[in-house]
Structure 1
Amino acid sequence: MFKLSPLGKRLGSIPFKPQPNHPLLNDESSVIGFVGLGNMGFNMAKNLVTKSSNSIIVYDINKDATSKFSQIQVPLSSNNDSPRISVASNLSEIAAKSNYIITMLPESAHVKAAYCGKDGLLAHLKPGTVCIDSSTIDTHVSIEVSNLISDKGAIPLDAPVSGGVMGAEAGSLTFMVGGRSSDEFLIAKDILQFMGSKIIHCGGLGTGQTVKICNNMLLGSAMIATAEAMALGTKLGVDPKLLSTVINSSSGRCWSSEVSNPCPGVLPNAPSSRDYNDGFASKLMLKDMYLSLNAAKSQKIPLLLSSLSTQIYGHVCNDADLANKDFSSVFKWINKK
């Protein structure tokens, strides 16, 4: 298990004390800041603004994404008939205007830069702000950033997700939450429920990230195994839909076979049936596999299968096209061999 820094240990034992006039989510004057409108973040933020009555201010370096988000049709604020969606010009504006901040970014470096960079979130963070990071990043970086957030009198939580783009679209994500106390977890749960169907308190700061990298480590290998099974069966002349039906009625059933089958045409809504577009990129799965290997190395745990799976995703990502495709495109890579 990862060890918290002395500051993390100290903060983890402090019971939650609401800030004076701390805004509650059911108060429409509370503003939600959202940073990161990629395939996952865009749909998560969309569910927030369409399901809650709160205003949302968004930021992303991709101006096309923020422009598209600003065009979502939602009712005006009942308080003053003002638009409930706005686009921040920088991270400082997000921090200054938000009571809740959610970050959904690709890697550890992006989260650290968003908070700790020049004119980043920390520079203008208000005491009492609830800061939820739903990125999948290194546990040590997560704890480091959380401690800096705590120093500002704000509330840090790590809350990575599982469920993929389809789960983000449907609002059925699973959130794995690490935080300083159960009271602070309940505050986060109030907002996460608009984006997910399962919100699980995993323990102290960083535990959400630990659970997530374990889950993705398993998922990465399971997808490769599913892709190999589908490739073998179809090469031997079995109809892929029939093969999938049998697998999903048998002991080989898993998320990769049932929800995101890697064989095109088996599931119409899966990324594989959209030329592997609009999913969880292979390069991000490779990043997550490395996170698990690095964590295992620190604990001296051999991960033989996961090491091999990481090598396979490395080969997939050597194909510039497949690197940005959904990680189920490992099926396509296998069939090229």
Structure 2
Amino acid sequence: MKIAFIGLGNMGGGMAANLVRAGHTVRAFDLSEDALARAEQNGCTRATSIAAAVADAEAVVSMLPNGQIVLSAYTGEVIGHAPRGALFLDCSTIDVATAREAAEKAREAGYEMVDAPVSGGIAAAAAGTLTFMVGGSAEAFARAEPILQAMGKAVIHAGDAGNGQAAKICNNMLLAIHMIGTCEAFRTAEKLGLDPRTFYDISSVSSGQNWSMTSYCPVPGVGPQSPADNGYEGGFATELMLKDLRLAMEAADSAGVTVPLAQRAAALYEDFANAGNGRRDFSAIITSL
């Protein structure tokens, strides 16, 4: 299949490479010359613009920083430039309203579009083990699924347009809250004289068990390998977690839901980011406790 890929950053670069490995022909575009050069090394063909990338594409995949850029790209250089019948898959994490607006504009122009944000981080993007949460019609999902399977280990239909984004931000809201609680528990146990490994052995098989503890432990040398074992480098940056928390709070407000724990988590992560930790993994917040 001929696929256009827009946005070759830390996540998009690995995703585009996996599409090539799966046998697709990928024409890629990014504003970064370095990103384009890496994409070429991974088997992609360089495009000089978004419009050029999508000109003969059967599918368009995007991984972009925010909703404004997504909407601008699709309304300005994708819709009307890609062949009629091309499928659009936006894998960016953006606000629900913009995802739905982009999908509606695509539908009005005769295209099908899904929002398919990811969970898994940079390593999973490179390894092709991402989880995709997909919003869109059943027909669009059926077309998108085999493309997404080339980049991930799990592809889940979340419902109509925008529901992929809803699933992503609600999941990460819960993750942020869990991580802070896990960090507080480890720090308290340590100060009370309990060895972190011993606490892990107990809590990981008790009622306090959660993913932040057993799969992404914030304490170096405890549990499976995690960013904590690499000086909190790599993984999921604090600034990205803060972005997702803000999106979650915005969506909750629009739905009339109160989220006091999310608000407190966002305040803590904002303080942590403002102290110069924005690019450190979000589990590094344990160092501030």
Q: CA deviation at 1:268?
A: 6.5
- Equivalent residues in 2 for 1:148-297 (5 A)? 148-180=105-137, 182-266=138-222, 269-297=225-253
Give unpaired runs (5+ residues) of structure 2: none
Tell me if 1:97 matches 2:53. no
The TM-score with structure 2 as length reference comes to 0.92
Give yes or no for contact 1:125–1:152 (8 Å, CA) kept in 2. no
Give yes or no for contact 1:282–1:327 (8 Å, CA) kept in 2. yes
Give SS of 1:287's match: helix
Structure 2 match to 1:43: 14
Instruction: State which of 14, 38, 44 in structure 2 corresponds to 1:85.
Output: 44
Structure 1 match to 2:263: 307
Match of 2:110, as an amino acid?
G
Structure 1 match to 2:73: 114
Give yes or no for contact 1:126–1:154 (8 Å, CA) kept in 2. no
Q: Distance in 1 between matches of 2:115 and 2:56?
A: 21
Give yes or no for contact 2:129–2:152 (8 Å, CA) kept in 1. yes
Structure 2 match to 1:66: 36
Give SS of 2:110's match: coil
Give yes or no for contact 1:142–1:206 (8 Å, CA) kept in 2. yes
Q: What per-residue deviation string (whole Å, max 9, x for no partner) do you get for residues 216-257 of structure 1?
A: 111111111112222223344433333333332222222211
Give yes or no for contact 2:133–2:164 (8 Å, CA) kept in 1. yes
Q: Say which is worse superposed, 234-243 or 285-294, in terms of deviation.
A: 234-243
Structure 2 match to 1:14: none
Give yes or no for contact 1:155–1:184 (8 Å, CA) kept in 2. yes
Give SS of 1:318's match: helix
- Equivalent residues in 2 for 1:4-19 (5 A)? none
Q: CA deviation at 1:288?
A: 0.9
**Equivalent pairs: percent with the same residue?**
39
Instruction: State which of 78, 81, 92 in structure 2 corresponds to 1:135.
Output: 92
Q: What per-residue deviation string (whole Å, max 9, x for no partner) do you get for residues 109-162 of structure 1?
A: 221232234xx2235122111110111111110011111222232210011112
Q: What per-residue deviation string (whole Å, max 9, x for no partner) do you get for residues 183-242 of structure 1?
A: 221111011111122211111111111111111111111111112222223344433333
Give yes or no for contact 2:214–2:224 (8 Å, CA) kept in 1. no
Q: Say which is worse superposed, 102-111 or 264-273, in terms of deviation.
A: 264-273
Q: Distance in 1 between matches of 2:143 and 2:47?
A: 24
Q: Distance in 1 between matches of 2:237 and 2:269?
A: 11
Tell me if 1:146 matches 2:103. yes
Q: Distance in 1 between matches of 2:163 and 2:240?
A: 20
Q: CA deviation at 1:96?
A: 0.8
TM-aligned CA distance change 1:234 to 1:40, over 3 Å: farther
Give yes or no for contact 1:106–1:284 (8 Å, CA) kept in 2. no
Match of 2:172, as an amino acid?
N
Match of 1:188, as an amino acid?
A
The root-mean-square deviation of aligned C-alpha atoms, in Å, is 1.9
Match of 1:332, as an amino acid?
T
Give unpaired runs (5+ residues) of structure 1: 1-29, 73-83
TM-aligned CA distance change 1:299 to 1:250, over 3 Å: same
Give SS of 1:97's match: coil
Structure 1 match to 2:279: 324
